[in-house]
Amino acid sequence: MKVLVAVKRVIDYNIKVRVKSDQSGVDLANVKMAMNPFCEIAVEEAVRLKEKGVADEVIVVSIGPKVAQEQIRTAMALGADRGILVETDEPLESLAIAKLLTKVVEVEQPGLVILGKQSIDADNNQTGQMLGALAGMSQGTFASEINVSENSVEVTREIDGGLQTLSLNLPAIITTDLRLNEPRYASLPNIMKAKRKPLDVKTPADFGVNVISGLKTLLVESPQERSAGVLVGSVSELVEKLKNEAKVI
């Protein structure tokens, strides 16, 4: 079975984001970029499936600028076999990404597609589900455990209030939650090996996909800052303030 993993290049999760002074967006100039953390978990899960003999090939795809090749190489250093970059300098919305991924799915015919549940930049949490609808596939979102059998996959999902387990017909879409696994670090020999793994470059036009979006971002602002309050000296002072000043208990 082939496993397709989609990865996104995003701002490194350790970086504090700054809104541009003209409020047109977030300042990404000279900022460290990395693979989206949830996508790393997706790559790790695919590689583990290959190590268990469930998957025979792991293909990693990214949609983004030319430099997103770095994240594809990272995924290949973690164990993916080959890469596909759908190159575009336009920032695309989830729907356009899902349409492009649908075309990649048509070509590659994977048994499983694994994606991060959301990217830490747009926080949309949409692409996997949209791909599921467009490709007519079942979905197991927010996965914390997956067990693949011959024609189906059992997925345990993190839902509000607990866990839910579903059985999905293959091919299926999985989106990863944090507890699915702990991604490994790439070793230096594997980083070197990844440089020689095949990486195909395509464009949205190659797939005949219209990437125009119905959404327009008008403005990006900093959130309202909370200011620090007061330090209290004792528990009794705290209780007194909560009762009489804040009136919340």
Q: Which of residues 88-127 bind another protein (CB under 8 A)?
A: 93-95, 98, 120-127
Please tell me the distance from the alpha carbon of residue 141 to that of residue 147, in angstroms, as a whole number.
Answer: 14
| Residue span binding another protein (CB under 8 A) among the ranges 40-48, 59-67, 150-158, 192-200 | 150-158
Interaction pattern, residues 27-56, with another protein; x per rule: CB under 8 A: ------------------------------
Burial class (CB in 10 A: 0-12, 13-18, 19+), 120: middle
Q: Does 21 bind another protein (CB under 8 A)?
A: no
CB–CB of 155/123 below 8 Å?
no
- Interactions with another protein, residue window 171-190 (CB under 8 A): 177-179
Nearer to another protein, 89 or 234 (CB): 234
| Residue span binding another protein (CB under 8 A) among the ranges 72-80, 104-112, 137-145, 200-208 | 137-145
Smallest CA-to-CA distance from 58 within 77, 38, 43 is with 43
Nearer to another protein, 30 or 189 (CB): 30
CB–CB of 3/50 below 8 Å?
yes
Among 4, 11, 58, 114, binds another protein (CB under 8 A): 11
Nearer to another protein, 53 or 136 (CB): 136
Residues 6+ apart with CB under 8 A from 176: 38, 39, 41, 42, 45, 114, 115, 116, 117, 142, 143
DSSP track, 19-43:
B-TTSSSB--TT--EEE-HHHHHHH
Number of shown-chain residues binding another protein (CB under 8 A): 76
Nearer to another protein, 69 or 213 (CB): 213
